[in-house]
Amino acid sequence: MRTFGVEEEFLIVDPDSGKPLPLAGEVLRLHDLESQAMHPTRNLVLTPELQQEQLEAVTGVHSDLSELAVEITAGRTYADSLAQRVGARIAALATSPVPVAPHATPNPRYDAMVEMFGLTAREQLTCGFHVHVSVNSDEEGVGVLDRIRCWLAPLIALSANSPFWNGADSHYASFRTQAWNRWPTAGPTGVFGSAQAYHELIDDLLGTGVVKAPDFDARLSRTYPTVEVRVADVCLNPDDTVLLAALVRGLVETAGREWAAGQPADATHTALLRQGAFRASRWGVRGDLLNPLTHRPASAADVINALHDHVRDALDESGDAAYVRDSLDRVLREGTGTEQQRRAYEGRKSLSDVVGHATNRTHGISGGPWLATPA
Protein backbone atom coordinates (compact mmCIF):
# COMPACT_ATOMS: atom_id res chain seq x y z
CA MET A 1 0.00 0.00 0.00
CA ARG A 2 1.30 3.46 -0.85
CA THR A 3 2.41 5.53 2.12
CA PHE A 4 1.43 9.15 2.55
CA GLY A 5 1.83 12.20 4.74
CA VAL A 6 0.54 15.76 4.76
CA GLU A 7 1.69 19.33 5.31
CA GLU A 8 -0.80 21.84 6.74
CA GLU A 9 -0.19 25.58 6.95
CA PHE A 10 -1.92 27.57 9.71
CA LEU A 11 -2.42 31.19 10.70
CA ILE A 12 -1.23 32.37 14.12
CA VAL A 13 -4.01 34.65 15.35
CA ASP A 14 -4.95 36.94 18.22
CA PRO A 15 -7.69 35.10 20.19
CA ASP A 16 -9.73 38.29 20.64
CA SER A 17 -9.39 40.35 17.46
CA GLY A 18 -8.64 37.50 15.07
CA LYS A 19 -5.73 39.43 13.59
CA PRO A 20 -2.75 37.33 12.43
CA LEU A 21 0.29 37.78 14.66
CA PRO A 22 3.98 37.54 13.60
CA LEU A 23 4.85 34.98 16.28
CA ALA A 24 6.11 32.01 14.26
CA GLY A 25 9.64 32.44 15.60
CA GLU A 26 8.47 32.25 19.22
CA VAL A 27 6.24 29.22 18.54
CA LEU A 28 9.04 27.41 16.73
CA ARG A 29 11.50 28.08 19.56
CA LEU A 30 9.07 26.40 21.95
CA HIS A 31 8.74 23.52 19.51
CA ASP A 32 12.51 23.08 19.43
CA LEU A 33 12.56 22.86 23.23
CA GLU A 34 9.72 20.32 23.22
CA SER A 35 11.49 18.23 20.58
CA GLN A 36 14.65 18.12 22.69
CA ALA A 37 12.54 16.94 25.61
CA MET A 38 11.14 14.06 23.47
CA HIS A 39 7.58 15.37 23.48
CA PRO A 40 4.97 12.68 22.60
CA THR A 41 4.25 14.46 19.29
CA ARG A 42 7.93 14.46 18.35
CA ASN A 43 7.14 12.79 15.00
CA LEU A 44 5.39 16.00 13.98
CA VAL A 45 7.63 18.71 12.53
CA LEU A 46 6.76 22.42 12.67
CA THR A 47 8.48 24.65 10.13
CA PRO A 48 8.46 28.34 9.18
CA GLU A 49 6.74 29.72 6.12
CA LEU A 50 7.09 32.88 4.01
CA GLN A 51 5.31 35.05 6.57
CA GLN A 52 5.82 35.22 10.31
CA GLU A 53 2.04 35.03 10.81
CA GLN A 54 1.95 31.38 9.74
CA LEU A 55 3.61 28.04 10.30
CA GLU A 56 3.49 24.60 8.77
CA ALA A 57 2.88 21.25 10.45
CA VAL A 58 4.34 18.19 8.72
CA THR A 59 3.17 14.71 9.69
CA GLY A 60 5.18 11.54 9.61
CA VAL A 61 4.78 8.83 6.96
CA HIS A 62 1.76 6.53 7.26
CA SER A 63 0.13 3.68 5.42
CA ASP A 64 -3.10 3.64 7.45
CA LEU A 65 -5.63 6.46 7.10
CA SER A 66 -6.80 6.26 10.71
CA GLU A 67 -3.22 6.63 11.97
CA LEU A 68 -2.73 9.67 9.75
CA ALA A 69 -6.00 11.12 11.09
CA VAL A 70 -4.80 10.75 14.67
CA GLU A 71 -1.57 12.59 13.90
CA ILE A 72 -3.35 15.38 12.02
CA THR A 73 -5.61 16.04 15.00
CA ALA A 74 -2.79 15.71 17.52
CA GLY A 75 -0.59 18.02 15.46
CA ARG A 76 -3.21 20.76 15.38
CA THR A 77 -3.70 20.48 19.12
CA TYR A 78 0.03 20.53 19.76
CA ALA A 79 0.68 23.59 17.55
CA ASP A 80 -2.20 25.41 19.23
CA SER A 81 -0.86 24.57 22.70
CA LEU A 82 2.46 26.21 21.79
CA ALA A 83 0.69 29.24 20.33
CA GLN A 84 -1.34 29.68 23.51
CA ARG A 85 1.88 29.92 25.50
CA VAL A 86 2.73 33.11 23.56
CA GLY A 87 -0.81 34.54 23.77
CA ALA A 88 -2.09 33.35 20.38
CA ARG A 89 -4.10 30.54 18.76
CA ILE A 90 -3.77 28.43 15.62
CA ALA A 91 -6.50 28.73 12.97
CA ALA A 92 -6.86 26.56 9.87
CA LEU A 93 -7.80 29.43 7.57
CA ALA A 94 -6.47 29.58 4.03
CA THR A 95 -6.62 33.39 4.02
CA SER A 96 -7.07 35.92 6.81
CA PRO A 97 -10.60 37.32 7.11
CA VAL A 98 -9.18 40.28 9.08
CA PRO A 99 -7.02 42.85 7.24
CA VAL A 100 -3.30 42.30 7.83
CA ALA A 101 0.07 43.53 6.58
CA PRO A 102 2.23 40.37 6.77
CA HIS A 103 5.82 40.32 8.01
CA ALA A 104 8.19 38.25 5.88
CA THR A 105 10.26 35.62 7.68
CA PRO A 106 13.89 36.83 7.71
CA ASN A 107 16.11 34.30 5.99
CA PRO A 108 18.05 34.33 2.70
CA ARG A 109 15.47 32.30 0.76
CA TYR A 110 12.51 34.46 1.72
CA ASP A 111 14.53 37.68 1.41
CA ALA A 112 15.29 36.72 -2.19
CA MET A 113 11.62 35.98 -2.88
CA VAL A 114 10.50 39.36 -1.57
CA GLU A 115 13.18 41.06 -3.64
CA MET A 116 12.20 39.20 -6.82
CA PHE A 117 8.41 39.20 -6.52
CA GLY A 118 7.68 42.43 -4.65
CA LEU A 119 4.03 42.95 -3.76
CA THR A 120 3.09 39.40 -4.77
CA ALA A 121 5.39 38.06 -2.05
CA ARG A 122 4.58 40.77 0.52
CA GLU A 123 0.83 40.13 0.25
CA GLN A 124 1.08 36.33 0.07
CA LEU A 125 -0.41 35.28 3.39
CA THR A 126 -2.12 32.09 2.26
CA CYS A 127 -2.30 28.66 3.86
CA GLY A 128 -2.34 25.56 1.71
CA PHE A 129 -2.51 21.84 2.28
CA HIS A 130 -0.09 19.44 0.55
CA VAL A 131 -0.38 15.67 0.31
CA HIS A 132 2.67 13.49 -0.38
CA VAL A 133 2.09 9.98 -1.76
CA SER A 134 4.89 7.49 -2.35
CA VAL A 135 5.98 6.47 -5.84
CA ASN A 136 8.52 3.84 -6.85
CA SER A 137 10.53 5.95 -9.28
CA ASP A 138 10.62 9.30 -11.04
CA GLU A 139 9.26 7.58 -14.15
CA GLU A 140 6.23 6.33 -12.25
CA GLY A 141 5.90 9.71 -10.53
CA VAL A 142 5.78 11.60 -13.82
CA GLY A 143 3.37 9.02 -15.19
CA VAL A 144 1.16 9.80 -12.19
CA LEU A 145 1.46 13.57 -12.68
CA ASP A 146 0.38 13.20 -16.30
CA ARG A 147 -2.71 11.22 -15.30
CA ILE A 148 -3.98 13.12 -12.25
CA ARG A 149 -3.81 16.64 -13.75
CA CYS A 150 -7.43 16.57 -14.97
CA TRP A 151 -8.70 15.48 -11.53
CA LEU A 152 -7.11 18.18 -9.37
CA ALA A 153 -9.70 20.95 -9.74
CA PRO A 154 -12.38 19.04 -7.76
CA LEU A 155 -9.92 18.93 -4.85
CA ILE A 156 -9.91 22.74 -4.85
CA ALA A 157 -13.70 22.71 -4.58
CA LEU A 158 -13.73 20.13 -1.76
CA SER A 159 -11.13 21.99 0.29
CA ALA A 160 -12.38 25.56 -0.33
CA ASN A 161 -11.76 27.57 2.85
CA SER A 162 -10.89 31.15 1.87
CA PRO A 163 -13.90 33.36 1.09
CA PHE A 164 -12.51 36.48 2.80
CA TRP A 165 -9.53 38.57 1.74
CA ASN A 166 -8.24 41.76 3.36
CA GLY A 167 -11.43 42.39 5.29
CA ALA A 168 -13.93 41.73 2.50
CA ASP A 169 -15.89 38.84 1.05
CA SER A 170 -14.07 37.96 -2.17
CA HIS A 171 -17.16 36.19 -3.58
CA TYR A 172 -14.88 33.21 -4.19
CA ALA A 173 -15.00 29.90 -2.36
CA SER A 174 -11.21 29.63 -2.55
CA PHE A 175 -9.65 33.04 -3.03
CA ARG A 176 -6.36 31.51 -1.91
CA THR A 177 -6.26 29.82 -5.32
CA GLN A 178 -6.49 33.20 -7.03
CA ALA A 179 -3.80 34.75 -4.83
CA TRP A 180 -1.52 31.72 -5.16
CA ASN A 181 -1.77 31.73 -8.95
CA ARG A 182 0.10 35.05 -9.03
CA TRP A 183 3.32 33.05 -8.69
CA PRO A 184 4.93 32.51 -12.11
CA THR A 185 4.88 28.68 -12.11
CA ALA A 186 1.64 28.10 -10.19
CA GLY A 187 -1.18 26.16 -11.77
CA PRO A 188 -1.68 23.05 -13.90
CA THR A 189 0.99 21.62 -16.15
CA GLY A 190 1.00 19.97 -19.54
CA VAL A 191 1.72 16.28 -20.12
CA PHE A 192 5.43 15.59 -19.60
CA GLY A 193 5.64 12.11 -21.07
CA SER A 194 8.82 11.07 -19.27
CA ALA A 195 10.95 11.80 -16.23
CA GLN A 196 13.64 13.16 -18.53
CA ALA A 197 11.24 15.72 -20.01
CA TYR A 198 10.08 16.70 -16.52
CA HIS A 199 13.61 17.27 -15.23
CA GLU A 200 14.63 19.13 -18.38
CA LEU A 201 11.75 21.56 -17.86
CA ILE A 202 12.72 22.04 -14.20
CA ASP A 203 16.31 22.78 -15.25
CA ASP A 204 15.11 25.26 -17.87
CA LEU A 205 12.87 27.02 -15.32
CA LEU A 206 15.69 27.27 -12.80
CA GLY A 207 17.95 28.55 -15.56
CA THR A 208 15.73 31.58 -16.05
CA GLY A 209 16.80 32.89 -12.65
CA VAL A 210 13.18 33.69 -11.78
CA VAL A 211 12.19 30.73 -9.60
CA LYS A 212 14.09 28.43 -7.25
CA ALA A 213 11.48 25.65 -7.40
CA PRO A 214 8.28 25.14 -9.43
CA ASP A 215 4.95 25.81 -7.73
CA PHE A 216 3.01 23.43 -9.97
CA ASP A 217 -0.36 22.10 -8.78
CA ALA A 218 1.39 18.74 -8.47
CA ARG A 219 5.08 17.90 -8.72
CA LEU A 220 7.76 15.44 -7.75
CA SER A 221 8.97 16.24 -4.26
CA ARG A 222 12.49 17.63 -4.06
CA THR A 223 13.00 15.88 -0.70
CA TYR A 224 11.01 12.64 -0.63
CA PRO A 225 10.27 9.82 -3.13
CA THR A 226 6.73 11.14 -3.52
CA VAL A 227 4.28 12.94 -5.73
CA GLU A 228 3.24 16.15 -3.95
CA VAL A 229 -0.28 17.46 -4.66
CA ARG A 230 -0.52 21.15 -3.74
CA VAL A 231 -3.87 22.52 -4.96
CA ALA A 232 -5.92 22.43 -1.74
CA ASP A 233 -6.71 25.12 0.79
CA VAL A 234 -5.86 24.15 4.33
CA CYS A 235 -9.11 22.57 5.50
CA LEU A 236 -11.02 24.10 8.38
CA ASN A 237 -12.39 20.74 9.53
CA PRO A 238 -9.71 18.09 10.25
CA ASP A 239 -12.11 15.46 8.89
CA ASP A 240 -11.88 17.19 5.51
CA THR A 241 -8.08 17.04 5.71
CA VAL A 242 -8.30 13.28 6.13
CA LEU A 243 -10.80 13.04 3.26
CA LEU A 244 -8.50 14.93 0.88
CA ALA A 245 -5.53 12.79 1.87
CA ALA A 246 -7.49 9.61 1.11
CA LEU A 247 -8.65 10.95 -2.25
CA VAL A 248 -5.15 12.01 -3.26
CA ARG A 249 -3.73 8.61 -2.39
CA GLY A 250 -6.54 7.04 -4.40
CA LEU A 251 -5.74 9.29 -7.37
CA VAL A 252 -2.04 8.44 -7.25
CA GLU A 253 -2.70 4.69 -6.97
CA THR A 254 -5.21 4.80 -9.84
CA ALA A 255 -2.85 6.82 -12.03
CA GLY A 256 0.05 4.52 -11.20
CA ARG A 257 -1.96 1.54 -12.39
CA GLU A 258 -2.95 3.35 -15.58
CA TRP A 259 0.69 4.24 -16.26
CA ALA A 260 1.86 0.68 -15.63
CA ALA A 261 -0.81 -0.63 -18.01
CA GLY A 262 0.30 1.78 -20.74
CA GLN A 263 -2.96 3.73 -20.72
CA PRO A 264 -2.35 7.10 -22.44
CA ALA A 265 -2.65 10.27 -20.38
CA ASP A 266 -5.45 12.71 -21.14
CA ALA A 267 -3.74 15.44 -23.18
CA THR A 268 -6.30 18.16 -22.42
CA HIS A 269 -4.75 21.62 -22.88
CA THR A 270 -3.73 23.42 -19.69
CA ALA A 271 -5.93 26.37 -20.72
CA LEU A 272 -8.97 24.14 -20.22
CA LEU A 273 -7.64 22.86 -16.90
CA ARG A 274 -7.35 26.47 -15.75
CA GLN A 275 -11.04 26.96 -16.47
CA GLY A 276 -11.82 23.99 -14.27
CA ALA A 277 -9.64 25.39 -11.49
CA PHE A 278 -11.37 28.77 -11.83
CA ARG A 279 -14.83 27.26 -11.45
CA ALA A 280 -13.70 25.28 -8.41
CA SER A 281 -12.11 28.38 -6.88
CA ARG A 282 -15.13 30.56 -7.61
CA TRP A 283 -17.96 28.34 -6.41
CA GLY A 284 -16.50 25.38 -4.52
CA VAL A 285 -19.22 22.76 -4.06
CA ARG A 286 -22.03 25.31 -4.46
CA GLY A 287 -21.93 25.76 -8.24
CA ASP A 288 -21.21 23.94 -11.47
CA LEU A 289 -17.72 22.54 -11.95
CA LEU A 290 -16.05 21.19 -15.07
CA ASN A 291 -16.38 17.45 -15.47
CA PRO A 292 -12.80 16.10 -15.78
CA LEU A 293 -13.94 13.57 -18.40
CA THR A 294 -15.81 15.97 -20.72
CA HIS A 295 -14.48 19.41 -19.65
CA ARG A 296 -18.04 20.72 -19.74
CA PRO A 297 -20.03 22.19 -16.84
CA ALA A 298 -21.80 19.76 -14.53
CA SER A 299 -23.18 19.99 -11.01
CA ALA A 300 -20.66 19.79 -8.19
CA ALA A 301 -22.34 16.59 -6.99
CA ASP A 302 -21.94 14.95 -10.41
CA VAL A 303 -18.26 15.95 -10.62
CA ILE A 304 -17.47 14.81 -7.09
CA ASN A 305 -19.24 11.53 -7.76
CA ALA A 306 -17.20 11.11 -10.96
CA LEU A 307 -14.02 11.61 -8.91
CA HIS A 308 -15.22 9.01 -6.42
CA ASP A 309 -16.01 6.54 -9.20
CA HIS A 310 -12.58 7.13 -10.73
CA VAL A 311 -10.73 6.11 -7.54
CA ARG A 312 -13.25 3.64 -6.11
CA ASP A 313 -11.17 0.50 -6.72
CA ALA A 314 -8.13 2.01 -5.03
CA LEU A 315 -10.26 3.14 -2.08
CA ASP A 316 -11.80 -0.31 -1.72
CA GLU A 317 -8.37 -1.93 -1.60
CA SER A 318 -6.96 0.55 0.93
CA GLY A 319 -10.01 0.19 3.18
CA ASP A 320 -10.83 3.91 2.86
CA ALA A 321 -14.00 3.59 0.76
CA ALA A 322 -16.65 3.90 3.48
CA TYR A 323 -14.98 6.88 5.13
CA VAL A 324 -14.56 8.70 1.81
CA ARG A 325 -18.13 8.09 0.66
CA ASP A 326 -19.62 9.26 3.96
CA SER A 327 -17.32 12.30 4.04
CA LEU A 328 -18.11 13.33 0.48
CA ASP A 329 -21.82 13.13 1.23
CA ARG A 330 -21.28 15.29 4.31
CA VAL A 331 -19.32 17.96 2.43
CA LEU A 332 -21.88 18.10 -0.37
CA ARG A 333 -24.66 18.42 2.21
CA GLU A 334 -23.06 20.82 4.73
CA GLY A 335 -20.48 22.64 2.62
CA THR A 336 -16.79 23.29 3.12
CA GLY A 337 -14.93 25.71 5.38
CA THR A 338 -16.10 28.53 3.12
CA GLU A 339 -19.76 27.94 3.96
CA GLN A 340 -18.90 27.66 7.65
CA GLN A 341 -16.98 30.95 7.59
CA ARG A 342 -19.84 32.77 5.89
CA ARG A 343 -22.36 31.36 8.36
CA ALA A 344 -20.18 32.52 11.24
CA TYR A 345 -20.06 36.01 9.73
CA GLU A 346 -23.85 36.23 9.39
CA GLY A 347 -24.36 36.20 13.15
CA ARG A 348 -22.93 39.66 14.02
CA LYS A 349 -21.28 40.62 10.71
CA SER A 350 -17.99 40.31 12.57
CA LEU A 351 -14.81 39.03 10.94
CA SER A 352 -13.29 38.41 14.36
CA ASP A 353 -16.22 36.03 14.99
CA VAL A 354 -15.22 34.17 11.83
CA VAL A 355 -11.69 33.68 13.17
CA GLY A 356 -12.98 32.66 16.61
CA HIS A 357 -15.27 30.08 15.06
CA ALA A 358 -12.42 28.84 12.86
CA THR A 359 -10.14 28.45 15.87
CA ASN A 360 -12.63 26.04 17.39
CA ARG A 361 -13.32 24.17 14.15
CA THR A 362 -9.58 23.73 13.58
CA HIS A 363 -9.73 21.24 16.43
CA GLY A 364 -12.99 19.63 15.38
CA ILE A 365 -15.17 21.55 17.86
CA SER A 366 -18.51 22.49 16.33
CA GLY A 367 -21.14 24.79 17.76
CA GLY A 368 -22.85 28.13 17.36
CA PRO A 369 -26.08 29.18 15.67
CA TRP A 370 -24.33 29.46 12.28
CA LEU A 371 -24.07 25.65 12.16
CA ALA A 372 -27.74 25.02 12.77
CA THR A 373 -28.81 25.13 9.11
CA PRO A 374 -26.60 23.97 6.23
CA ALA A 375 -25.90 26.63 3.59
Q: For residue range 140-183, list pLDDT tens digits in order.
A: 999 999 999 999 999 999 999 999 999 999 999 999 999 999 99
DSSP 52: T
DSSP 234: P
Instruction: Give 340's pLDDT tier (boundaries 50, 70, 90).
Output: very high
One of 3.40.1360.10, 3.90.1280.10, 3.40.50.460, 3.30.590.20 is the CATH number of 100-366, namely 3.30.590.20
Q: What is the pLDDT of residue 129?
A: 98
Q: Other CB atoms closer than 10 Å to residue 200's CB: what's the count?
A: 12
87, HSE (Cβ side, Cα atoms, 13 Å): 8
In angstroms, rounded to a whole number, what is the distance separating the alpha carbons of residues 151 and 338?
A: 21
353, HSE (Cβ side, Cα atoms, 13 Å): 15
Q: What is the pLDDT of residue 319?
A: 96
Q: For residue range 240-290, list pLDDT tens digits in order.
A: 999 999 999 999 999 999 999 999 999 999 999 999 999 999 999 999 999
Domain boundaries of the chain, sorted by first residue: 100-366
Distance between alpha carbon 115 and the CA centroid of its chain, in Å? 26
Judge whether residue 371 has pLDDT over 90. no
Alpha-helical (H) ranges within 319-350 are 321-334, 337-348
State mean pLDDT over 69-90: 95
> Phi and psi dihedrals of 138, rounded to 5?
-65, -35
Judge whether residue 292 has pLDDT over 80. yes
| Exposed / middle / buried, residue 288 (Cβ in 10 Å: 0-12, 13-18, 19+) | middle
In angstroms, rounded to a whole number, what is the distance separating the alpha carbons of residues 9 and 66?
A: 21
Q: For residue range 29-41, list pLDDT tens digits in order.
A: 999 988 766 555 5
Instruction: Give 370's pLDDT tier (boundaries 50, 70, 90).
Output: very low
Judge whether residue 93 has pLDDT over 70. yes
